[in-house]
């Protein structure tokens, strides 16, 4: 194979790579535009458990925080979910006060708050009770948004961002 043939083959490979990269980036930008349209809807508070159930079955991946706004741990998790929801477009995040969802609290056997329940295609796939697995021992101060984000990535609740230059 001559040098010019090798160079042409390399250029073709580069063109293919750049084409795939461009397509991937266009898809990512389309998701970002869709997310911008959703704006404040990335993390919604729901006040009716019937509405929450309808949203859960009509969305592919859903993260629900059952909480009590008076509890410090619930406030911490709420802030972390708000931050995470603002960065991931393929997952819908909701929160509901446990007192506004008595049927679901009993049905899902929610006894400790905060409780994060994760659904895919209408079926529960994962749950975080309290801050278990997100803190060191009982030290609430060791909870970070990054730990929760890594947990979601590990469970495939959110997809890794391809071109995340902020991290």
Going across the sheet that includes 43-45, the strands are 43-45, 92-97, 61-67, 115-120, 123-129
Q: Angle, nearest 10°, between helix axes 145-154 and 72-85? A: 60
Are 91 and 62 within 8 A, CB to CB?
Answer: yes
Which residue segments constitute the domains of the chain, with CATH numbers given? Answer: 39-154 (3.40.30.10)
The pLDDT, as a whole number, for residue 125 is: 96
Q: Is 139 helix (H, G, I), strand (E, B) or coil?
A: strand
Q: What does pLDDT average to in each consecutive run of 10 residues of the chain (167 residues)?
A: 82 87 86 63 92 92 97 96 90 96 96 97 95 86 94 92 53
pLDDT digits (tens, 9 = 90+) for 36-58: 665 557 899 999 999 999 999 98
The pLDDT, as a whole number, for residue 37 is: 62
Are 147 and 134 within 8 A, CB to CB?
Answer: yes
The pLDDT, as a whole number, for residue 1 is: 75
The pLDDT, as a whole number, for residue 165 is: 46
Are 16 and 9 within 8 A, CB to CB?
Answer: no
β-pairing, 92-97 with 43-45?
parallel
How far apart, in Å, are the Cα atoms of 82 and each of 61, 70, 93, 119?
A: 16, 17, 8, 18
């Amino acid at each position: 194979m001559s040098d010019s043939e090798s160079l042409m083959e390399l250029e073709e490979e580069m063109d293919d790579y750049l084409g795939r990269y461009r397509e991937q980036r266009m898809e990512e930008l389309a998701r970002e535009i869709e997310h911008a349209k959703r704006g404040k809807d990335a993390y919604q508070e729901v006040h009716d458990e019937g509405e929450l159930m309808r949203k859960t079955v009509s969305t592919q991946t859903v993260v629900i925080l059952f909480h009590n706004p008076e509890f410090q741990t619930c406030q911490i998790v709420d802030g972390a979910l708000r931050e995470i929801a603002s960065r991931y477009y393929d997952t819908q995040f909701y929160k509901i006060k446990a007192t506004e969802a008595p049927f679901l609290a009993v049905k899902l056997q929610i006894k400790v708050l905060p409780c994060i329940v994760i659904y895919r295609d209408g079926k529960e796939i994962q749950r975080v009770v309290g801050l278990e697995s997100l803190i060191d021992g009982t030290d609430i101060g060791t909870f970070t948004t990054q730990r929760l984000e890594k947990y979601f990535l590990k469970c495939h609740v959110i997809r890794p961002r391809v071109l995340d230059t902020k991290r």
